[in-house]
Structure 1
Amino acid sequence: MPLTSATFVVVAMLVAQTIVSMGTLTLPAIAPALARAFEVDASAIGYQISIVYAGAMASAALGGSVVQRIGAGRTTQTALAAIAAGMALGTSANIAALMIASLLLGLGYGLSNPAAAELLVRYTPASRRNLIFSLKQTGVPLGGMAAAMVAPGIASTFGWRAALLLVTALAIAMVVLLQFPRSRWDAPGDEPVPLSWAQVFGGISLIWREPSLRYLSLMALCFAAVQLCLMTFTVTLLVAESGYSLVRAGLVLSVVQFAGAIGRIAWGWAADRTRSSTAVLIALGAIMLAATLAVTRIDAGWSAASILFVFVAMGSTAIGWNGVFLAEVARLASTSHASTATGGALFFTFAGVLLGPSAFAAVYGRLQSYTGTFVVAAILAATGIGLAALSRAYRTPPRN
């Protein structure tokens, strides 16, 4: 298979995204075990994940410039190396080290998408871009599913450090494997582009100048906050309020992540068929809103099947929107601005990820109820629907 074929590029970016996602979501998947090791409340994982995405915000803003300077292939390797370093450092039972590790995880996560966007726009057909971006973005729930299925069992059997070291090994292996196609993806004759302040903030400026991109990115801020509330607090909610074991709750989260992966493909297919990404985003936002409201009603009388149904519905939407969003950003920005616009849009996305879990943890501190606190996610979902409608109203033709 040619190293520059659409199939090879999509598969390579999917695997890389899966490992990066697994790195960022392994700690939430074993939050109760970490809470015991660090002698903190399990809800504190909301603050840890916020540090991750503070790093992601910073690297996403720089992502387009980094891709232009060192190439998309090398940027992907750099992202994976940061994940490996963060996971290794996280094995130290020290709060300060864990904070630095979380920042490294975020830096790696934020770099991965602008690099992938550059390669996907360059090597894949525009007519199938929603589906292709959605396929690549299934790496996020697949990584989360892997973390939810594997990490709790490893943590219970071998200790929580073993779960982190597994991700370290996977990330290092992928860095080595990507060395083969990197020379084809990153043209050796290209002159490195020097970094400047204008380039650093260019993606953010590009997003904010265009009303359709601005409202679309603000929608992503809201939807991303819902997504991370779901992925960060599902295990803890089920263990603390529904009587699930850590392993059983992890399995539920893995099913939710799988639903998100299927959702990404389905919503991407729907967007290509209808040729209306924003209409699809509004529709899935409505389902997301209904599911978050249902979570607030969960109590001891709910059956396991009912709980699973609600979380699967939430997962298929709150985890399923990203591919359609990124494809629409790339479409509106054009090929030459794809990595820059993606980095700028992800700055807002990661702002939502940064704010969502922290807001959830803060409200939980007042309510002392994980199910009740999901009203925060419901408010964010409703706001995101309105912003998607505004983006649709201001929609402009793609840039040339």
Structure 2
Amino acid sequence: MGILSASQSGGVPPAQGSGAFPALALVSMLAVQTLVSMVALAVPAIAPAVAAATALPLSAVGVFSGALYVGAMLSAINVGGPVVRYGAVRVAQFCLGLSACGLGLVASGRVALLLPGALLIGIGYGSATPASSHLFADEVAPRWRGLVFSIKQTGVPLGGMLAGALLPGAEQRMGWQGALPLLALACLVCSGLLQPVRERFDARREPAHRLALAGSLRTLRMVWRHPAVRELAICTVFFAAMQASMATYLVAQGHAGAGLTPIRAGLLLATAQAAGVLGRIAWGWASDHWVRPSRMLALLAVAMGGCAVLAGGMRPDWPPLALFALALAFGATATGWNGVYLAEVARLAPTGMAGVLTGGTLFFTFCGAFAGPLAFAGMATFTHRLGDGYVAIGCVLVALGGLLLWRQRRKSTSDRRAG
């Protein structure tokens, strides 16, 4: 969801790259990002089966996702030092190993091990993006940097798409306690395949680099001292809450609200995540050429909020075309805002501070991803209707988007009068 530069953690200045397109680095890190994202959405993708086996309500998947994002939030703000000390590839291998261990705990079927498993998965998920960003800072020439980061960002929705498309079918064939270890094995295989390239990509690591928490706290203070960046970081709390809730509950809502089979509900999630892959690139391009990034983010807030309200009203008599059209729009907006947000942070940041401030905003983003599913679960528990969580968060996003648009219009009017 964000970028943490080497400069944040006190590492060496980034290299400028050889000038050639860094295909090997991109393929390696895209594979890592896709797998850890697939692991993060594995339980939501097969939520009906897990809930039935553990005698937990469907809304409990929000508690699982909340614990996952606690791990992601803490790891993202602290991983800069380990990346400098051990290297990006070693940290990526560590991410994959933790994800596999977390899946093993969940696959045990013991309720007491679900939250520890979620924490481990979250630590792996939250560390993957800073690791790849550190690697790309060394390997990618400036003329390729925008494209490479855009492609790398698609790993998150791509992993969600694969989770929704593959895991429900695997659960039907071998049971959920068989499907999850298979995914864990894929993580371990990928970790092993990274070993031959580690010496090349981790050559600039600093084994003597000191690990400390002070750098993380300093980064948060820097974000808070820049009002425009602080405001954007706070907005991403709500954006990430919507994204996490969409990914966490779409399968459950498709099953409970629209009466879809688990496999078809999984395809609903896959459709939304596929739309997010395209949305990340499309909205970023549009904000470069047609619409100011700040206005684009406000419009996306209104759009994703409206989609959430509609998703909360899913019923069995809805035609499949309407359900999948809604999933397309929901995924493109609720999962596609990240690239615009990153570009806007970079624009607002003082010279030389874009990487540091972007890394710091990750903490706020993951706070939203943590709180969103929990708020959703609380609303669903209170009203005894799963879709009400979408309606509540959707109304908040519509109001936030409207407020942002009103403020931008008021500022534009004031600027014209002053001119």
What is the TM-score when the length of structure 1 is the normalising length? 0.89
Name which of 323, 326, 333 aligns with 1:307: 323
Gaps of 5+ in 1: 394-400
Q: Which residue is 2:170 aligned to?
A: 154
1:224–1:352 contact (8 Å) kept in structure 2? yes
The SS at the match of 1:312 is: helix
The SS at the match of 1:190 is: coil
Cα distance between partner residues in 2 of 1:335 and 1:73:
29
Cα distance between partner residues in 1 of 2:184 and 2:50:
18
| Compared CA separation, residues 213 and 117, structure 1 to 2 (3 A) | farther
Kindly provide the CA deviation profile for residues 122-150 of structure 1, in whole angstroms up to 9, marking residues without a partner as x. 43355665553332111111111111111
Paired residues for 1:241-260 under 5 Å:
241-260=257-276
Cα distance between partner residues in 1 of 2:131 and 2:301:
27
Name which of 228, 231, 243 aligns with 1:212: 228
| Compared CA separation, residues 129 and 380, structure 1 to 2 (3 A) | farther
Are residue 377 (structure 1) and residue 390 (structure 2) matched?
no
Name which of 251, 264, 270 aligns with 2:286: 270
Cα distance between partner residues in 2 of 1:37 and 1:255:
26
Deviates more, 1:229-238 or 1:202-211: 202-211
Q: Which residue is 2:129 aligned to?
A: 113
Kindly provide the CA deviation profile for residues 109-128 of structure 1, in whole angstroms up to 9, marking residues without a partner as x. 11111112223344335566
2:257–2:314 contact (8 Å) kept in structure 1? no
Are residue 33 (structure 1) and residue 59 (structure 2) matched?
no
Cα distance between partner residues in 2 of 1:224 and 1:206:
21
Cα distance between partner residues in 2 of 1:292 and 1:191:
47
Deviates more, 1:185-194 or 1:360-369: 185-194
Cα distance between partner residues in 1 of 2:344 and 2:81:
21
Cα distance between partner residues in 1 of 2:155 and 2:169:
21
Kindly provide the CA deviation profile for residues 17-42 of structure 1, in whole angstroms up to 9, marking residues without a partner as x. 10010011001111111111111111
Q: Which residue is 1:282 aligned to?
A: 298
Deviates more, 1:205-214 or 1:98-107: 205-214
Kindly provide the CA deviation profile for residues 153-194 of structure 1, in whole angstroms up to 9, marking residues without a partner as x. 111110111221122112112212222333222235735321
Kindly provide the CA deviation profile for residues 213-245 of structure 1, in whole angstroms up to 9, marking residues without a partner as x. 212221211111101111111111111121111
Shift of 1:264: 1.1
Deviates more, 1:67-76 or 1:142-151: 67-76
Deviates more, 1:335-344 or 1:361-370: 335-344
Cα distance between partner residues in 2 of 1:270 and 1:171:
35
Q: Which residue is 1:184 aligned to?
A: 200
2:44–2:248 contact (8 Å) kept in structure 1? yes
What amino acid does structure 2 have at the position aligned with 1:79? C
Name which of 143, 151, 176 aligns with 1:135: 151
Shift of 1:314: 0.9
| Compared CA separation, residues 328 and 85, structure 1 to 2 (3 A) | farther
Cα distance between partner residues in 2 of 1:142 and 1:387:
32
Q: Which residue is 1:397 aligned to?
A: none
Q: Which residue is 1:49 aligned to?
A: 65
Q: Which residue is 2:377 aligned to?
A: 361
Shift of 1:269: 2.3
Cα distance between partner residues in 1 of 2:235 and 2:59:
26
Cα distance between partner residues in 2 of 1:339 and 1:12:
22
Q: Which residue is 1:324 aligned to?
A: 340
Cα distance between partner residues in 2 of 1:81 and 1:339:
27
Paired residues for 1:3-152 under 5 Å:
5-126=21-142, 129-152=145-168
| Compared CA separation, residues 331 and 192, structure 1 to 2 (3 A) | farther
Shift of 1:384: 5.0
| Compared CA separation, residues 273 and 192, structure 1 to 2 (3 A) | farther
Shift of 1:276: 4.0
Highest CA radius of gyration, 1 or 2? 2
Cα distance between partner residues in 2 of 1:291 and 1:124:
37
What amino acid does structure 1 have at the position aligned with 2:93? Q
Deviates more, 1:289-298 or 1:357-366: 289-298
| Equivalent pairs, count | 392
| Compared CA separation, residues 363 and 157, structure 1 to 2 (3 A) | same
Q: Which residue is 1:228 aligned to?
A: 244
Q: Which residue is 1:166 aligned to?
A: 182
| Compared CA separation, residues 279 and 64, structure 1 to 2 (3 A) | farther
Deviates more, 1:233-242 or 1:65-74: 65-74
| Compared CA separation, residues 277 and 173, structure 1 to 2 (3 A) | farther
Cα distance between partner residues in 1 of 2:161 and 2:349:
32
The SS at the match of 2:79 is: helix
| Compared CA separation, residues 113 and 188, structure 1 to 2 (3 A) | closer
Q: CA RMSD in A?
A: 2.7
1:23–1:167 contact (8 Å) kept in structure 2? yes
Q: Which residue is 2:13 aligned to?
A: none
What amino acid does structure 2 have at the position aligned with 1:385? G
Cα distance between partner residues in 2 of 1:181 and 1:338:
29
What amino acid does structure 2 have at the position aligned with 1:280? M
Shift of 1:80: 1.4
Kindly provide the CA deviation profile for residues 304-330 of structure 1, in whole angstroms up to 9, marking residues without a partner as x. 211221221011010111233234445
Q: Which residue is 1:398 aligned to?
A: none
Deviates more, 1:96-105 or 1:297-306: 297-306
Cα distance between partner residues in 1 of 2:403 and 2:213:
29
Gaps of 5+ in 2: 1-17, 412-419
What amino acid does structure 2 have at the position aligned with 1:109? Y
Shift of 1:16: 1.0
